[in-house]
Amino acid sequence: MSRRPDETRTRLVDAAERLFAERGIDGVSLREITREAGARNAMALQYHFADRTGIIQAILDKHSPPVEAGRLALLDAYEATDRADLRHLAGALVRPWAAKLGDPAGGREFLRINADIAARPFPADDPPSWTVPTESLLRWRELVEPNLDPTAVLLHRRHTAIAYVAVELGRRPEPRLPGGTP
């Protein structure tokens, strides 16, 4: 029995990881991914994943489970202690993602793609699975907030709002008049 469809699917995911990491998830055509994967059928990506959202979800599904499991394990370890240790909580947030830096099976590419998703200008247009916090992130937030100075939390929220507005407004293209004049 041939395993060719699974091999093609894997090659498509690997090619999409590389190209999306290099040029962003909106900077690569599905045709380029199919060509990079060496798929003979021009519709191979659509067959396996339906569309761009499907291939991106496949990349997230490949990498997110170990990140989620790692973070949950670190949070379990934190809760097993009786002390409030913000360093431990910071590690629980960062270490599972940082572990992907050493993953030769597309770990660095996943981190770039994940950052691209996090910085998207119109996240409301993305599927909920890309934008809804995971169980571990919700749990992390519940554990960290009581350990923070309320004034620091307010200042951080203010800074985040200002930074978000500055970045988002800076990304907006100039309106063009007919004829290409700004």
- Out of 92-106, 110-124, 134-148, 158-172, which region has the weakest mean confidence (pLDDT)? 158-172
pLDDT tens readout for residues 140-157: 999 998 988 999 888 888
**In the predicted model, what is the mean pLDDT of residues 116-143?**
85
Q: Is the separation of the CB atoms in 79 and 142 below 8 Å?
A: no
Least confident of 16-25, 64-73, 107-116, 173-182: 173-182
Nearest Cα residue to 44 out of 16, 20, 64: 16
Is 182 a domain residue?
no
Q: Which of 39, 38, 36, 31 is nearest to 15 (CA)?
A: 36
Model confidence pLDDT, tens digit, residues 47-73: 999 999 999 999 999 999 999 999 999
Please provide residue 75's backbone torsions phi and psi, each rounded to the nearest 5 degrees. Answer: -70, -40
Q: How many domains does the chain have?
A: 1
Residue 181 within a domain: no
What is d(CA 150, CA 157) in angstroms, rounded to the nearest whole number?
A: 11
Task: Give the range of the structural domain holding residue 164, as residue numbers without chain letter.
Answer: 4-171
Whether residue 41 is contained in a domain is answered as yes
Among candidate residues 38, 30, 32, the one with its CA nearest the CA of residue 11: 38
Q: Rounded to 5 degrees, what are φ and ψ at 28?
A: -135, 135
Confidence of residue 2 (pLDDT cuts 50, 70, 90): very low
For residue 83, the domain's CATH number is 1.10.357.10
Q: Is residue 159, in this structure, part of any structural domain at all?
A: yes
Residue 178 forms part of a structural domain: no
Nearest CA-CA partner of 116 in 33, 26, 29: 26
pTM of this prediction exceeds 0.85: no
Encoding tokens for residue 13? Answer: 């995911």
Looking at the domain assignment, is residue 75 inside a domain?
A: yes
Residue 48 lies in a domain: yes
- 82 located within any domain: yes
Q: Structure tokens of 11?
A: 């090659």
